[in-house]
Amino acid sequence: MDERELANHVLEIVDQTAYRVAARQVIGVHLAVGGRRGFDLDLLHTAFSDVVRGTVADGAELFVKVLPVRHHCPNCRTNFEATKDDCPCPECGHPHTEIIGGEELRVLNLDIDDTAA
């Protein structure tokens, strides 16, 4: 999935949500993405303002929260947060830890303008 696909995917969710809550105008979209997805946030913002043109979210501001990648140590069973793919365990120093999570993609919240006609 690249930035444009993600933007389209987000728009789909926004569109459905706006319809469900009968929102006329979405002015802000709060998004959470896992740190492993490695999106270019600038590209994502550009793609987003592109795809929302003419939709209920036209001109909406995109807020992206990058979630930390969690690792699990097979040696001492510690779970910890880190950004890199392969990181040593902070507890026991084990060099290879398993990645759990980091692939999340969630629309957390929408800011809706109810005053729009």
Give residues in contact with Zn ion (CB under 5 A): 73, 75-76, 78, 89, 91-92, 94
- Cα–Cα distance between 23 and 39 in angstroms, integer? 28
CB of 88 to Zn ion, least distance (A): 8
Q: How many CB atoms lie within 10 A of CB 77?
A: 10
CB of 39 to Zn ion, least distance (A): 29
- Side-chain half-sphere of 81: how many Cα atoms within 13 Å? 6
Task: Please say which residue, 66 or 73, places its beta carbon nearer to Zn ion.
Answer: 73
CB 9 within 8 A of CB 51: no
Task: Please say which residue, 29 or 70, places its beta carbon nearer to Zn ion.
Answer: 70
CB 32 within 8 A of CB 103: no
Task: Please say which residue, 26 or 89, places its beta carbon nearer to Zn ion.
Answer: 89
CB of 66 to Zn ion, least distance (A): 25
